[in-house]
Amino acid sequence: MTRNRLEGALRRTLPDARIEVVSLPRCGTLRLGLINADYQTGPLDPDVMQAVIRSPAYWAFCWGSGLALARFLLEQPQWVRGRTVVDLGSGSGIAGIAAAMAGARRVVACDTDPDARLASAENAALNRVDLEVSDRLSGRWDVLLMADVLYDRSNLPLLGLAQTHARTVLVADSRVTDLPDPGYREIDRIEALTLPNLGEFDEYRTAHLFHWQRADDQPD
């Protein structure tokens, strides 16, 4: 992993931040390069605040929902083993990397943010797994993963779009507890905190895991 490239991307918005490589709790050997845990929590300089608003470095955190989905896949690899997987809104790459470690045949991390694509690729290299990156969702996939992407309600149409690109969709979200699409069924609730700890409200410490499956797609 070339930590310098990620740190350069982070410092475009947060000039005094660093990238630290951390092990993730209950995720086996999975490690990620994330923003330093002791990064200041006080008010930001107004110029820095503007830069953060313009271009938030979501990829520098491992969001609770991504961590929950990673744990789920590592504990139940049959969901992705031997399958093609796309991680939509990959951020750090957490869910896609877990899928690759769980034995997925091919994994693509898809994110609209070029720095997130860089982070996903660098973190995949750190974990010695193969992962491709893409700036848009295209093609047909066995499994589509989506963790903590619905915080932006304008992303809700992704729930339907996902069904046109994949046979199985797994959505993990701690902010959205009820999906507007009745085709999605809640299959699990997993406790997980965002890393580094953002001190989120208790209600956001549980990721809800939803599953949609095309009628002709039977699990192994």
Q: Which residues bind ligand SAM (CB under 6 A)?
A: 58-59, 62-63, 65-66, 88-92, 94-95, 110-113, 116, 147-149, 151-152, 155, 158
Nearest to ligand SAM of 1, 171 (CB atom): 171
CA distance 209 to 181: 14
Within 10 angstroms of residue 215's Cβ, the number of other Cβ atoms is 6
- In whole angstroms, how close is the CB of 167 to ligand SAM at the nearest point? 20
- In whole angstroms, how close is the CB of 150 to ligand SAM at the nearest point? 9
Nearest to ligand SAM of 2, 55 (CB atom): 55
Handedness of CA 77, 20, 119, 201 (dihedral sign): positive
Nearest to ligand SAM of 81, 155 (CB atom): 155
Look up tokens 């943010």; give the residue.
113
Nearest-CB residue for ligand SAM: 66
Question: Is residue 125 classed exposed, middle or buried when 0-12, 13-18 and 19+ CB atoms within 10 A define those classes?
Answer: middle
- In whole angstroms, how close is the CB of 64 to ligand SAM at the nearest point? 8
Nearest to ligand SAM of 45, 119 (CB atom): 119
- In whole angstroms, how close is the CB of 5 to ligand SAM at the nearest point? 17
* Torsion angle of the four alpha carbons 58, 63, 66, 71, in this order, in degrees rounded to the nearest 10: 150
Q: Which two structure tokens, joined as six digits, stand for 48? A: 């820095």
